[in-house]
Chain A
């Protein structure tokens, strides 16, 4: 049996706390007795009286004294270490009765959830760059949902991320799916072996949903943000995502979706894609670059085809991709198509499909700049617009979230005698309106009535981007729209072609 005394200088604890501590230390292995007291004369006398010490040391009333009896020096040393740790601990004895405290900053949140690996940032754009840089410095990957982040910030963020093996999705990254968890505006799609990289949120949504419709699944979906393939950024995020997918054992096939990159960036991306050694399906919507330099890559002409080819490359037994062709030519007779989109990439894909066969299609972001709509609020001739564009959403909720803006435009188009076909996209998934069909049907009915009263007819054509597991349920939404007489296509590209056919029929019938 050995007894040792140790002083902890300048540690005051109340006697009640010390009694508890003495009991805890006495319960440690190899320890018989333990007494922790403030080393006052009176306390020392008590320790001597209790028989722990034969002779008391000189009083040191500001110091805490521990006297421990145990089987050996090691055990006692361990007991004193435990006591020292308990004294240094800053945690309370229990959780405490105080209100739960929600962290107010990224770093504080990381302290409370140290296993975090991604920051999802959707604060106002002027602050998003700084918050994202904070996240990166803290070792977190970042998804920046916010837009209006200066390009200089994006360059700085992506340069830092590249040097530190981190991923920056965005700015203006609306959609991602990481390890099966939808982030931002995303759909509940089956998990599988296809890795998707997309510059636009709706592009990713359409490709992942079309994969899902074909029984395929998604390993991960990475959003790069709309500017990533710009010359100034150089495709940092897309290149990084290609690296990750090349190394990811759960990814068998890679799908790339973006507007046409800057030529030098395209070359870098496609070289990297070819070097992954995995099948890569590329859809640079409307890209006219030289494909022959990349024989190992597969180029797709539409979002749906991208999904189809990716599922096929993953080994599924699918028929070749064939969809109804565009009618050509469509007579120009004053019957006009009006495309009112909520998703930017849906709008762009429709423009690419429709412009060649309809002749000029006006838009706020047309294929040919000379076809820019002067007044975005008034359609002229064939018009296809993205109502999610900043032009329209200033002070209004995005039409994917709230259909009010688009409903107003539907009714307005119906008042224009030249409107014959209205083409729509309907986006489901997290973040979108919880029942878009229900939100749209009154406006569709009102539009029809307006035209009817004027002895006209308006046809509605739409596609629904979603899955059966989405909160809104694809089948239910499609059924509601179909019941209301909306002509549905299974994809956006097919909806564009269907709209053109309906227009051709209308024009043909009228002539």
Chain B
């Protein structure tokens, strides 16, 4: 029988707010919706009508979300990209974000490609490298096509070392490159000799030291480490100080007990200790691992990838597997280093939005009081930023609790339906690159995922549900 009469009328009021006042004054219950037209206009609204409250999508999302929660990323070792990444060919260069051909690449990405070609020894000069890159002989593909992620330009070429993260639940592996530190670095498009020498040192010294240490430890469980870092003020994207210190603390003993030379261990320890973002790449591979676990659930609208290539922002959702939903990237806004401004900034770049996709980074802003300046400067604004994301997420991650929210879990599992329905774009913390190759990082701040990606994904999912 119908549930309308004699049920203690409970109304959800959407639209004219005054109606809710009357309902409450007359003894009914009224829950108010802070309604805004869904993004994407009536087409997206019609798609949403099909998907919202659709039990098949709800169940699929719960399955995807449960798999994400259950995933147990373990830092297993270090490999060489060309030997380790399944399917990577000898002339492959991987980049951040959705697919893009050489001609359209952003300047910092082009610079990083040049650097990679020089490191690989495929060319001897900048000009020769540019010619090679434009010549069609090199295959450019997104890191994500190889279960890998890279911050900023995200360039991974065959000889580069990669961290290997294994999901203890499924055995599936994900990868990232090693973080080079701040200043002039490849991921911001720099390819001076200093940059290339550092890359060679990372491959020749740092990677083996960590690799041997990891053999000693038998792998490092990453979620507990990330959770602990969040309790120590990291949100896991723009701030990785605690995670980096914890990582060093975790491997230093094993490194000293390995057969690496004392000098190499000391140099490696200094390098990691000097790099407050060292843990970012490892954590990104862990995020990729958790999200891969959630991927491929038919009917699910849960985001599994958000990534930028400096020109386009790309989204993937669990239920539509390998399809990219793209839109022009939005500019980042934030705090700039002395001498730089928004005018100098490159459009948004990097795979590091995998952290937000996994419920940390901007979504865990409330965990990082040290960087609240990015969202308004007070703890309250940081908490509001995190709370705002509960409008777009499937649930909370009990593994990543936030002290300032009295240990509530971080909002996680972005539901594309909710992003469009609530017209609330996911927040992304980000570093800001100079728009010209090679200058490097000029600031950090926040940006938002473009709504258009989510609108396209929702419409495509509604079509697929027919």
**Which A positions have Cβ atoms within 8 angstroms of B?**
9-14, 17, 62, 87-99, 101-110, 112-113, 115-124, 126-127, 129-141, 145-146, 165-167, 178-184, 188, 220, 240, 244, 247-248, 250, 430-431
Contacts and interface: CB of A to CB of B under 8 A. Distances in A.
Contact of A123 (B14, B50, B221, B386): B14
Contact of B3 (A109, A112, A141): A141
Given A14-B231, A134-B49, A183-B22, 9 more contacts: A97-B404, A105-B391, A106-B53, A120-B19, A123-B15, A131-B14, A132-B49, A183-B19, A248-B5
A178 B9 contact: yes
B12 A110 contact: yes
B4 A98 contact: no
B37 A92 contact: no
Contact of A118 (B12, B221, B227): B12
Task: Please tell me the size bucket of the interface on B.
Answer: 35 or more
B418 to A, nearest CB: 6
B158 to A, nearest CB: 33
A90 B22 contact: no
B408 A122 contact: no
A132 B6 CA distance: 22
B249 to A, nearest CB: 11
8 contacts: A90-B409, A98-B387, A115-B8, A117-B10, A120-B19, A121-B15, A179-B6, A250-B5
Contacts of A9: 72
Given A11-B399, A89-B398, A96-B405, A127 B224 contact: no
A119 B72 CA distance: 41
Interface centre among A9, A117, A184, A430 (most CB of B within 10 A): A117
A134 B35 contact: no
A434 B227 CA distance: 57
Interface string B406-449: 11110000000010011110000000000000000000000000
Closest 4 interchain pairs by CB?
A122-B15, A92-B406, A137-B53, A104-B422
A104 B391 contact: yes
Contact of A108 (B9, B388, B398, B422): B422
Majority secondary structure of chain B interface residues (helix, strand, loop or mixed): mixed
Given A96-B406, A165-B2, A122 B418 contact: no
A146 B10 contact: no
Most chain A CB inside 10 Å of its own CB: which residue of B22, B34, B46, B422: B22
B224 A104 contact: no
B48 interface: yes
B49 A133 contact: yes
A127 B5 contact: no
Contact of A117 (B9, B20, B228, B418): B9
A85 to B, nearest CB: 11
A131 B387 CA distance: 24
- Most chain B CB within 10 A, of A115, A127, A137, is at A127
Contacts of A107: 52-53, 418, 421
Contacts of A138: 52-53
A118 B5 contact: no
Interface in B45-92: 45-46, 48-50, 52-54, 72
A119 B11 contact: yes
A98 B407 contact: no
Contacts of A62: 221, 224-225
Nearest to B19: A120
Interface-centre pick from A11, A165, A181, A431 (highest chain B CB count, 10 A): A181
Nearest to B3: A117
B25 to A, nearest CB: 9
Contacts of B37: 123-124, 127
B198 interface: no
A461 B358 CA distance: 68
B395 interface: yes
Contacts of B231: 12, 14
Nearest to A86: B398
A378 to B, nearest CB: 33
B2 A167 contact: yes
B391 to A, nearest CB: 5
Contacts of A124: 37
Contacts of B49: 129-134, 137
Contact of B224 (A10, A166, A180): A10
B216 to A, nearest CB: 15
Nearest to A94: B406
Contact of B391 (A88, A108, A122, A132): A108
Contacts of B4: 117-118, 141, 167, 178, 244
Contacts of B342: none
A17 B407 CA distance: 9
Contacts of A139: 3, 53
Interface string B17-38: 0111011001111011111111
Nearest to B58: A107
Nearest to A61: B224
B444 to A, nearest CB: 24
B42 interface: yes
A359 to B, nearest CB: 42
A422 B16 CA distance: 33
A178 B406 CA distance: 40
A103 B391 contact: yes
B329 interface: no
Contacts of B38: 127, 130
Given A146-B15, A178-B9, A99 B28 contact: no
Contacts of A119: 11-12, 14
A95 to B, nearest CB: 8
B13 interface: yes
Contacts of B388: 101
